[in-house]
Amino acid sequence: MNIILIPIFLPLIMAFLILFISEKTKYIKELTAIVTTLIALMASIAMFGGALEFSLPWAGYGADFKLKTDNLNIVILTASSFFSFLIAVYSFGFMRKKTASTKWFNFNLLITQAFSAGAILSDNLLLLLFFWEGLLIFLYAFIALSNENRNSKATAMKAFIINAATDLCLVLGIAITGYLAGTLNMSEINASGKLTMHGWAIGGYLLLMIAAISKTGAMPFHTWIPDAGKNSNVNFMAYIPAAMDKILGVYFLIRISVYLYQLNGGMQIMLMTIGAATLLFAVMMALVQTDYKKLLSYHAVSQAGYMILGIGTLHPIGIAGGLFHMLNNAIYKSCLFLTAGSVERQTKTTDIRKLGGLIKNMPLTGLFFIIAALSISGVAPFSGFFSKELIYKGTLLTGHKVFFFIAVIGSILTLASFLKLGHAVFFGKRPETLKETQEAPFSMLAPMLALAGLCAAFGFGAKLPVKFFLEPSLTFLSLEHTLPLSGFHFDKLFFISVIAALIALISHILGYKTFSKPSKASDHIHHAPGLKQIYSMAEHKFFDIYEQAMSFTPLLGKCLMAADNFFDFLTDRLPSLVINSLSKISQKFHTGSYPLYMALTIIGFALYMVFVLGGTK
Task: Check whether residue 500 and residue 568 sit in a common domain.
Answer: no
584 assigned to some structural domain: yes
CA distance 171 to 183: 15
Task: Check whether residue 530 and residue 561 sit in a common domain.
Answer: no
Task: Check whether residue 364 and residue 507 sit in a common domain.
Answer: yes
B/e letters for 284-305, b = 16+ CB within 10 Å, e = fewer, are bbbbbbbbbbbbbbbbbbbbbb
Residue 119 near residue 132, CB atoms below 8 Å:
yes
- The CB-based long-range contact list for 611-616 (8 Å cut-off, 24+ gap) reads none
Contacts of 127 (CB under 8 A, 6+ apart): 58, 63, 65, 66, 67, 118
Query: What pLDDT score was predicted for residue 61?
Result: 59
Residue 617 pLDDT greater than 60, yes or no: no
Residue 290 near residue 352, CB atoms below 8 Å:
yes
Q: What's the angle, vertex CA 261, arms to CA 259 and CA 263, rounded to 5?
A: 115
Residue 352 pLDDT greater than 60, yes or no: yes
Among candidate residues 171, 173, 181, 53, the one with its CA nearest the CA of residue 123: 53
Query: Which pairing describes strands 53-56 and 261-262: parallel, antiparallel, or unpaired?
Result: unpaired
Percent of the chain at pLDDT > 90 equals 29
Task: Check whether residue 390 and residue 475 sit in a common domain.
Answer: yes
99 — pLDDT class (breaks 50, 70, 90): very low
580 — pLDDT class (breaks 50, 70, 90): confident
Name the 3-class secondary structure at 481: coil
Q: Kindly tell me the burial class for residue 179, based on how many C-beta atoms sit within 10 Å of its own C-beta (0-12, 13-18, 19 or more).
A: exposed
71 assigned to some structural domain: no
Q: What's the angle, vertex CA 407, arms to CA 313 and CA 283, rounded to 5?
A: 125
Task: Check whether residue 404 and residue 545 sit in a common domain.
Answer: yes
H or E element at residue 330:
helix 316-347
Task: Check whether residue 525 and residue 400 sit in a common domain.
Answer: yes
Q: Which of 530, 550, 570 is the last residue of a domain?
A: 550
- The domain in which residue 586 lies consists of 554-615
Q: Which of 526, 550, 574 is the last residue of a domain?
A: 550
Task: Check whether residue 396 and residue 362 sit in a common domain.
Answer: yes
Task: Check whether residue 344 and residue 460 sit in a common domain.
Answer: yes
Please state the domain count of the chain.
Answer: 2
Among candidate residues 326, 90, 96, 375, the one with its CA nearest the CA of residue 217: 326
Residue 110 near residue 11, CB atoms below 8 Å:
yes
Cis-peptide, bond into residue 220, ω within 30° of zero:
yes
31 assigned to some structural domain: no
Residue 63 near residue 128, CB atoms below 8 Å:
no
221 assigned to some structural domain: no
- CA 122 remoteness from chain centre: 19
Task: Check whether residue 558 and residue 495 sit in a common domain.
Answer: no
Residue 416 pLDDT greater than 90, yes or no: yes
Q: Kindly tell me the burial class for residue 456, based on how many C-beta atoms sit within 10 Å of its own C-beta (0-12, 13-18, 19 or more).
A: middle
250 assigned to some structural domain: no
Count of Cβ atoms closer than 10 Å to residue 334 Cβ = 30
Task: Check whether residue 283 and residue 299 sit in a common domain.
Answer: yes
Query: What pLDDT score was predicted for residue 100?
Result: 47
Task: Check whether residue 324 and residue 443 sit in a common domain.
Answer: yes
CA distance 305 to 319: 13
pLDDT tens digits for range 353-377: 999 889 999 999 999 999 999 999 9
222 assigned to some structural domain: no
Global confidence as pTM: 0.86
Query: What pLDDT score was predicted for residue 248?
Result: 86
Task: Check whether residue 403 and residue 320 sit in a common domain.
Answer: yes
410 assigned to some structural domain: yes
For residues 337-348, give the mean pLDDT. Answer: 88
411 — pLDDT class (breaks 50, 70, 90): very high
Residue 318 near residue 396, CB atoms below 8 Å:
no
Query: What pLDDT score was predicted for residue 203?
Result: 92
For residues 415-439, give the mean pLDDT. Answer: 90
Q: Which of 550, 571, 599 is the last residue of a domain?
A: 550
3-state secondary structure 11-70: HHHHHHHHCCCCCCCCCHHHHHHHHHHHHHHHHHHHCCCCCCEEEECCCCCCCCEEEECC
pLDDT tens digits for range 150-191: 777 888 888 888 888 888 999 999 999 989 988 888 988 988
Query: What pLDDT score was predicted for residue 272?
Result: 94
The one-letter code for the residue type at 382 is F
For residues 231-242, give the mean pLDDT. Answer: 68
Residue 98 pLDDT greater than 60, yes or no: no
H or E element at residue 432:
none
538 assigned to some structural domain: yes
Residue 244 pLDDT greater than 60, yes or no: no
Q: Average pLDDT, whole number, for the chain?
A: 85
